[in-house]
Amino acid sequence: MNMMTAIGAMLAQTTSLWGIPKARSQAPPKPRYGSVKRYQRAAAKARARRRAKRLKKH
């Protein structure tokens, strides 16, 4: 076990003993209307439009 892993394990053990909750990453909220795929496609299109607009200026 290397040093960084050992330190990480020690910190995790200490925080659990002290009752400090572990920081867990949260998933983004699900879209209200439609599916996740539909939302992702719309977001990709918006990014593409912004990129095209930015590149068109030069």
Look at residue 42 and tell me if it is in a domain. yes
Residue 8 lies in a domain: no
Residue 57 lies in a domain: yes
51's tokens? 């990129």
Give the global pTM: 0.44
In a domain, 46, yes or no: yes
Domain count, the chain: 1
- Give the range of the structural domain holding residue 54, as residue numbers without chain letter: 31-58
Residue 52 included in any domain = yes
Q: Which pLDDT score, from 0 to 100, does residue 9 have?
A: 80
Contacts of 36 (CB under 8 A, 6+ apart): 30
pLDDT along the chain (58 residues), means of 10: 78 69 76 86 95 87
Whether 2 is covered by a domain: the verdict is no
Give a yes or no: residue 45 inside a domain. Answer: yes
